[in-house]
Amino acid sequence: MSRLSGWAVFDLDGTLVDTLGEITEALNRVLANHRRKGLSKEEVMRLVGHGPNTLIERAWSKTGRTAEVGEVSDLAYQYSREYECNSPGMSRPYRGVNEGLQRLVQLGWKLGVCTNKHGVAARSLIRELGWSDWIRVVVSGDEAFRKPDPRSLKLAFQRMGAGFGRHLFVGDSEVDLQTAQNASVEAVFLRHGYGGMGKFRSRFFHDAVEMFRWVAQSGPIRKY
Q: Which of 11, 142, 172, 176 is catalytic?
A: 11
Name every residue whose Cβ is closer than 8 Å to that of residue 20 and which is 6 or more positions away in sequence: 13, 14, 41, 44, 45, 48, 194
Q: Is 12 strand, coil or helix?
A: coil
Does the active-site annotation cover 18? no
C-alpha 127/C-alpha 124 separation (Å) is 5
138 and 111 Cβ atoms separated by less than 8 Å? no
DSSP state of 67: P
18 and 121 Cβ atoms separated by less than 8 Å? no
131 and 29 Cβ atoms separated by less than 8 Å? no
Dihedral angle sign, alpha carbons of residues 162, 9, 47, 125? negative
DSSP state of 16: T
Neighbours of 182 (CB within 10 A): 16
Q: Is 17 strand, coil or helix?
A: strand
Radius of gyration of the chain (CA): 17
Find the helix packing angle between 119-128 and 69-84, rounded to 10°. Answer: 20
Any idea which residues carry the catalytic annotation? Answer: 11
